[in-house]
Structure 1
Amino acid sequence: MTTGGHTLVVRLDSAGDVLLAGPAIRAAAAASARTTLLCGPQGEAAARLLPGLDDILVYDAPWVGFDPPPARRTDINALLGTLTARRFDRALILTSYHQSPLPAALLLRMAQVPWIAADSEDYPGSLLDLRHHRAPDRHEARAALDLAEAAGMRLPPGDTGGLRVSCASAAPHLTGTDPYLVVHPGAAVPARAWSAHRATRAVAALAAAGHRVVVTGGTAERELTRTVAGRHALDLGGRTALPELAAVLTAASTVVTGNTGPAHLAAAVATPVVCLFAPVVPADRWAPYQVPHVLLGHQDAPCAGSRARTCPVPGHPCLDAVTDTELLTAVDTLLSRSRGSDQEVTV
């Protein structure tokens, strides 16, 4: 594969997935004159924070997401017209370990993209020029970068391959200037977060231990954040779009959140993470990347490996059984460490 020219990177799912694609995108940008990302609507806000991109295209793919649209000829024809007109020289299709790149590869072939690379366990026929096999149990961010490197794309000198966003200044107009930690109680997948009553108790315990707590959440999570914050914390529910959330997380001493987009956003701004990690997906693939973190949650729960979206076990024991003592110990452990380590911290 020759370098230079116009590279298309495809990552079609959530904001967290797009953030994890950041190192691979920077490698593609270093090898290209121009780099475009094709992402889904759920990933667009994260895409706009990533360095290395010259352009962003958005497509709601019918084979991706929790509530995918129907496959419509008019939508596909419009996408094909857009892709063909851009005259891409090559494409990297980034997927999670359980996803197939072949629907995207077929569309790119129809759009006359001459060289396409992807991880694929399925036989790709003529759809891929580079059929790459990811290393077993590889972290999603590292696996994407592995693919880019296999395609001849390397990070520039001095880039250590961590997650990164381009706007990460503090937001004292939202948080005030006193030190704080963040609790982000929500998640797009309920199985990956505390229940509301457990998160409420956690915030009260953190406040009682002397921590100033800021609770964050999206517009649709305002009732949740109001409940969880109660009288113990500052409620920023519905007040932080993704750039503002990045700013809030940047100035936080640590972040307590589930295995969801804000965990990866915190990693991208180098803020340590106490990650409530339900075992529905493997921690070695999805844990906070290249940032100090502690994983809390019972990894031997019956839901392990199920990719369940709603907890199938009464009482949500893998996360709700995490004690206040475990939480406080995890926070104190991270606060005692300096930023910049990529190792999981044992508590």
Structure 2
Amino acid sequence: MTGRVLVARLDNLGDVLLAGPCVRAVARSADAVTMLVGPRGRAAAELLPGVDEIVCWRAPWIDPEPAPVDAGMIDDIVRRIRALRVDAALILTSFHQSPLPLALTLRLAGVPWIGAISDDYPGSLLDLRHRVDGDPPEALRGLSLAAAAGFRLPRRDWHPRVKHPLPGVRRLVGEPGYIVVHPAASAAARQPSAATSAAIVRGLTEAGHRVVVTGGPGDTDLTHAISDSAGDPESVLDLGGKTSLPQLAAVLDNAAAVVAPNTSAAHLATAVGTPVVSLFAPVVPAGRWAPYGVECLLLGDQAAACRGSRARTCPVTGHPCLDSLDPDQVVGAVAQLTPGHSPEEVDRNDQRLAS
């Protein structure tokens, strides 16, 4: 299939990053790729190889803080898509989202061919109704839709990636080889408490690591609290709110390993090839949402009572799936993932994990 192809992923940064393999598959044979994203995902779309143009629109059936639906809002996006003269569209959604509202909108905009993953009967809204068995990683789920539409990517290239070159960040972080701790996630249920994150940072500095704490503009109170209580200020750098997304990608690229919950920074680390210690709350399936494509060690009680709840606020007193983590577990996991550690160091950390 050639011509101009629209790829839609309307939710968050991490979701858009995981759409990257699908986008690259389409870009291999399409004349141009337009990506339709929500405002929460736009910065990630700007980093994806293969994207020629970005259209940003807040979908009221996807955004977690949606505006009321009105005819003018729909008329606006229909007019904008119609002006693009799109030849085909692929709609990427999470398993709990329906592609059909957007498919209807794209039909009204005159898009002649539309494909999506859909369990619901689509009538004439879809030309390709794709089904996915099991619970594959989200990047592969989206890539399977591209393959069903005739867009293929070599097996060696199935992981998320970002455009290079990335900006220089040496003046922010100094020499490469530090450990990044990114404590925040978009839902409170998916991140450790500030006290747990601070204890993890203390454990890493006591093990001899230099630690960089990262976060977005809304995370500065959290990153400041963690950095201030984490021990030796010479060994901890607080970058909360101080980086753009491309700069954060570069900071992660220069790290020896990243410690993060289920959040976009974990997927961004994957996209630059840095190993991840994933502090994963089981409110969503790890098989689908854990970092895919790099070395990753998964920590957190995956059988906790919150499992599969999709909760945004932890429903279990004490947040045990993450706040019961021993910082030594994280230090040991970092030792296993970090090149340059001596076998003796790894053995000592293995013994601490086992004790």
Question: Normalising to structure 2: TM-score of the pair?
Answer: 0.92
Q: Which one of the candidate residues 141, 145, 164 is aligned to 1:143? A: 141
Match of 1:83 in 2: 81
Match of 2:6 in 1: 8
Q: Greater CA deviation, 49-58 or 321-330?
A: 321-330
Shift of the alpha carbon at 1:178?
5.3
Distance between the aligned counterparts of 2:84 and 2:256, measured in 1? Answer: 43
**Residues 1:241 and 2:239 aligned together:** no
Instruction: Report what 1:106 is aligned to.
Output: 104
| Aligned 8 A contact 2:189 2:281 in 1 | yes
Equivalent positions of 1:247-262 (< 5 A) are 247-262=250-265
The answer for the alignment partner of 1:329 in structure 2 is 332
1:235-277 C-alpha deviation (Å, 9 max, x unpaired): 0111011011001000000000000100000000000000100
- Spell out the pairing of 1:50-69 with structure 2 (5 A cutoff): 50-69=48-67
Match of 2:346 in 1: none
Determine whether 1:265 maps to 2:262. no
How far apart are 1:74 and its partner, in Å? 1.1
Contact 1:253/1:271 (<8 A) preserved: yes
Give percent identity, aligned residues only.
Answer: 53
* Structure-1 separation of matches of 2:38 and 2:85: 20
- Aligned partner of 1:287 in structure 2 is 290
Q: Residue 301 of structure 1 contacts residue 317 of structure 1 at CA under 8 Å; is this kept in 2?
A: yes
SS of residue paired to 2:222: helix
150, 158, 162: which one pairs with 1:161?
A: 158
CA drift of 1:72 comes to: 2.0
**SS of residue paired to 1:37:** strand
Which whole-Å CA distance do the structure 2 matches of 1:330 and 1:169 have between them?
Answer: 29
Query: How far apart in 2 are the matches of 1:4 and 1:173?
Result: 44
Give the gaps of 5 or more residues in structure 1: 339-345
- Give 2:180's aligned residue: 182
Could you tell me which amino acid in structure 1 is paired with residue 59 of structure 2? A
Matches within 5 A, 1:191-202: 191-202=189-200
Residue type of the alignment partner of 2:270: A
| TM-fit CA distance, 1:65 | 2.6
Counterpart amino acid of residue 137 in structure 1:
D
* Distance in 2, Cα, partners of 1:166 & 1:70: 36
Instruction: Give the match for residue 229 of structure 1.
Output: 227
> Which amino acid is 2:57 matched to?
Y
What CA distance in whole angstroms lies between the structure 2 residues aligned with 1:158 and 1:201?
40
Give, in whole Å, the separation in 1 of the partners of 2:67 and 2:248: 28
**Secondary structure at the residue paired with 1:36?**
strand
- Once residues 18 and 123 of structure 1 are traced to their aligned partners in structure 2, the CA distance between those partners, rounded to angstroms, is 25
The CA distance in 1 between the partners of 2:70 and 2:204, in whole Å, is 50
CA offsets 1:52-111 (integer angstroms, 9 cap, x no match):
011000010000132122112111101100111111110000011111100110101111
Letter in 2 for 1:181: I
Report the alpha carbon displacement of residue 135 of structure 1 after superposing the two structures with TM.
Answer: 2.1
**Alpha-carbon distance in structure 2 between the residues aligned to 1:135 and 1:26:** 23
Q: 8 Å contact 1:135–1:143 — kept in the other structure? A: no
CA contact (8 A) 1:170 1:250 kept: no
* CA RMSD after TM alignment: 1.6
Deviates more, 1:62-71 or 1:288-297: 62-71
* Structure 1 residues 173-206: Cα deviation after superposition (integer angstroms, max 9, x where no partner): 1101153110001111111111011111111111
2:309 is aligned to: 306
AA in 2 matched with 1:281: V
- Shift of the 98–178 alpha-carbon distance from structure 1 to 2, 3 Å rule, reads closer
SS in 1 for 2:157: coil
Q: For the residues of structure 1 that align with 2:339 and 2:38, how far apart are their CA atoms? A: 39
In the other structure, the counterpart of 1:342 is none
Q: Which amino acid in structure 2 is aligned with residue 111 of structure 1?
A: A
What is the letter of the counterpart of residue 268 of structure 1? Answer: A
User: Would you tell me which structure has more helix in proportion to its own residues?
Assistant: 2
Q: How many residues align?
A: 337
| AA partner of residue 253 (structure 1) | A
**Aligned AA (1:283):** A
The answer on whether the counterparts of 2:252 and 2:269 sit within 8 Å (CA) in structure 1 is yes
Deviations 1:126-146 (A, max 9, x none): 100000001211111001000
Give the Cα separation in 2 of the matches to 1:69 and 1:191: 25
Structure 2: unaligned runs, 5 residues or longer: 342-349
Q: What's the CA shift for 1:337?
A: 8.8
Aligned mates of 1:99, 1:31 — CA distance in 2: 28
- Offset of 1:160 from its aligned partner? 1.7
Quote the Cα distance in structure 2 between the aligned partners of 1:328 and 1:22: 31
- 2:31 maps to a residue whose letter is A
Q: Which deviates further from its counterpart, 308-317 or 157-166?
A: 157-166
Partners of 2:60 and 2:68 within 8 A in 1:
yes
